[in-house]
Structure 1
Amino acid sequence: MTPQDEANHANDPSRWYSTNLVGIPTWLLASVEFNAHPQALRIAGAQETHRGLFRLLEESTSSEDAAEKFRRYMDIVFQLTPTQYEVLYAELRRFRPSYLKLMEGWGFDSNSPQGAVLKGWVESRFGLTPSF
């Protein structure tokens, strides 16, 4: 392989090795064909890891109810609401990770640190490498 070929390979995400957790080849996920004929995807281990969330969602009576249950679950997982101990004894400006802040940061600038985190998450689950 010539240095030029190596450079072309390094700059072409479609030629990078990737795996995914959805059981559909990455090239197919990224294709026009998949977009034209989408199918449901399941991320391996997600349902098993978050059984409680999926049980709550199955019991939901409406999309609004499901959204509220999802918000409450994420609040607990990301510890978005400070505990009483934290309110009394911890620093007031403690950093709190938040999926909402992550999405907001990515929405403002996909090349921000939040965008990098989200791109990494997508790549690790779906095998889709960022192209810009």
Structure 2
Amino acid sequence: MTSTQPCDTNTTISLADRLLTLPAFAAAPINRCNLPAVILGGLTYQHCPTALHIDMVQEFHARLFTQLDGLDTPSERAQHFRQYMNSAFLLSDSEQVGFSHQNNGIRRDKADYLRLIRGWMFDANSIEAAVIKRWVESRFGLLTLNHKGVIQGVSSDEYQRYLQDYVRGLYNSNALESQLDLLYTYCQYELIRQMPKTTHLALFRGVNGLPKSNSCSQLLLNNNNSFSDARDQASIFGDHVFSANIPTTKILYFPDLLPNLLRGEREYLVIGGMVDVQWLKG
């Protein structure tokens, strides 16, 4: 039987050993959404997804989504979302949330949801990336399997380095995890507005070091991942490229969600778990 222990950022599983639910080592016992991790991280969910809701986010920010309902274009909605984020989290008035220009040392008031996404796009092992991975753990219950190396357990050096990066990224910042809650919820809103009948997107990812003996196989992804909608772009990041039908409910960010602000390489941020994939020939 093929091992399901994490290998690099992803784990390969043969079709003969298909698992419908997430392996226990990759799942937390609790989360903050409407489905347990073993379900939303499993293969069945990939093929038959249902809506994911982080607890009480849409209800708490109901006014925002009511206002968005009255705007016709994605660009108008994106501008309104940015303005709402600035207002709700006082992103342009840091002194109101306790930051002082007289403080010595590194000021953290510029750490916001945009900086987190930019940090991820620059380096998926960055401090900002650690904050996003930890957020996925908390909200969806999908454990981080790789950060600057394979995480073999809570006693491993890799896990301790991951926690250090997370704490450094979150320390003395302004509700970063709540900002990510609202970013994810807005992303899901926009996907439904722009593609109301779409449940999956065919996306591509380039990887190194994974076996490629079968054209079809199953992967256990890290809890957050970069994908592209362009095969050629994905091939830049690894020797082997696979395609996967990704549920739209697992997308945290997609290109042009916030026009002119985040210019990645047609990059999608995708929440992890197990996926059926198709390896593509070079």
In structure 2, C-alpha distance between the alignment counterparts of 1:17 and 1:105, rounded to whole Å: 25
The residue identity in structure 1 corresponding to 2:54 is: I
More helix by share: 1
- The corresponding residue for 2:37 is 26
Determine what percentage of the aligned residue pairs are the same residue: 36
Q: Does 1:116 align with 2:127?
A: no
Secondary structure of 2:119's aligned partner: helix
Q: Does 1:97 align with 2:111?
A: yes
Greater relative contact order (CA < 8 Å, ≥ 6 in sequence): 1
Secondary structure of 2:76's aligned partner: helix
More strand by share: 2
How far residue 45 of structure 1 moved from its aligned partner, in angstroms, is 0.8
Closer, same or farther in 2 for the Cα pair 1:97/1:52, shift >3 Å? farther
In structure 2, C-alpha distance between the alignment counterparts of 1:72 and 1:97, rounded to whole Å: 17
What is the aligned counterpart of 1:14 among 4, 14, 24? 24
What is the aligned counterpart of 2:61 among 37, 47, 50? 50
TM-score (norm 2): 0.37
Instruction: Report the more deviating stretch, 70-79 or 102-111.
Output: 70-79
Secondary structure of 1:70's aligned partner: helix
What is the aligned counterpart of 2:75 among 64, 67, 77? 64
User: Which sections of structure 1, spanning at least 5 residues, go unmatched?
Assistant: 1-7
How far residue 14 of structure 1 moved from its aligned partner, in angstroms, is 2.7
- The corresponding residue for 1:4 is none
Instruction: Report the more deviating stretch, 43-52 or 117-126.
Output: 43-52
- RMSD of the alignment, in Å? 2.8
Deviations 1:62-92 (A, max 9, x none): 2222111111112223433348x9xxx946x
TM-score (norm 1): 0.72
In structure 2, C-alpha distance between the alignment counterparts of 1:70 and 1:18, rounded to whole Å: 33
Secondary structure of 2:91's aligned partner: coil
The residue identity in structure 2 corresponding to 1:107 is: M
Spell out the pairing of 1:31-42 with structure 2 (5 A cutoff).
Answer: 31-42=42-53
Count of aligned pairs between the two proteins:
117
CA contact (8 A) 1:20 1:26 kept: yes
CA contact (8 A) 1:102 1:118 kept: yes
